[in-house]
Amino acid sequence: MRIFLTGATGFIGTALIPELIANGHQVLGMTRSDEGAKALAAAGAEVHKGTLEDVDSLRAGAAKADGVIHCAFDHNFANFVANCEKDHRAIAALADALVGTDRPLVITSGAGTGAPGPGQLATEDVFNRDFPHPRKMTELAGEEAAARGVNVSVVRLPQVHDPYKQGLISYLIPLVREKGVSAFVGDGSNSWSAAHVSDVARLYRLVVERAEPNSRYHAVAEEGVSMREIAEVLGEGMNLPVKSIAPEQAQEHFGWLAMFANLSMPASSALTRKWLDWEPTGPTLIEDLKLAKYEGGRG
């Protein structure tokens, strides 16, 4: 297949390109910059200049492909709602080029949208339309595209990691350094699901190959890693104390991360493993955090 890939120069995209090419696919990768174009060419991908804001460029890229994987997302949390709305528009534009075909459109959401209620285990067969997180706009856009006859699949992500990047934890690390303490809320038993980036890339490839309409998959290797475990390994890595803080102190301590620091976001991938014969093999989140380089600490 010739696959149009948004987010091609991003964390997951750079792992996904070699995964796709090694399995016989061609990649048409989107980038906004000349530097990105050079990186894509070096990785063996074709280059498509475009941006999430330029819906015409999205339509044009999708029109040239046998399938689309949409990984791009603007992770500026200061404008998170607006960025989720932008993602909604991007999905609609990609769908425009695929209406009336069976070419797959694989979109990206968060694992939490499969939780039936706060702190409950997220599963692939649930989409909680009352989920308070604005990222649910992605799946609403996917449903709208499916209603137009587009072959839509959803990959839901946990904290995707390697030793250099770890989802929301990447934002937590400089906060720990600034505060001089690695904190967790309450007893720290709230947990986040996780998966290594190589396993996530392999799942995207399996999903686009399967091209099953109206399907949802969880790229989850670990159902839940406790915030206390995460705080302890960060404290050890940076030679800083680890402590519990009260829930009412979370906003002052964590700032915008407070909305996540006290959340439990476990997720299952039992159905995904069954449907796609997908078995994660990469390192665990804690293993990667132990390999990470911290200023003034390990390494």
pLDDT digits (tens, 9 = 90+) for 181-239: 999 999 999 999 999 999 999 999 999 999 999 999 999 999 999 999 999 999 999 99
Tell me the pTM.
Answer: 0.95
Strand partners, 153: 106, 215
Strand 191-196 and strand 222-226: pairing? Answer: antiparallel
What pLDDT is recorded for position 295? Answer: 61
pLDDT confidence tier of residue 76, bands split at 50, 70 and 90: confident
The answer, yes or no, to whether residue 95 has pLDDT greater than 90, is: yes
| Planar angle of CA 45, 80, 201, nearest 5 degrees | 30
pLDDT attached to residue 75 = 83
Domains for the chain: give ranges and CATH numbers: 2-160+194-221 (3.40.50.720), 168-193+223-265+284-291 (3.90.25)
What tens digit of pLDDT does each residue of 140-181 get? 999 999 999 999 999 999 999 999 999 999 999 999 999 999
* Contact present, 27 and 17 (Cβ < 8 Å): yes
DSSP 77: G
The C-alpha atoms of residue 194 and residue 114 are separated, in whole angstroms, by 15
> What would the two tokens of residue 254 be?
């964590």
Q: What is the mean pLDDT of residues 259-272?
A: 93
> How many CB atoms lie under 10 A from the CB of residue 119?
11
Structure tokens at 208: 């686009």
Q: What is the pLDDT of residues 102-125, one digit of tens each?
A: 999 999 999 999 999 988 999 999
Tokens encoding 90? 């991007």
**How high is the pLDDT of residue 264?**
92
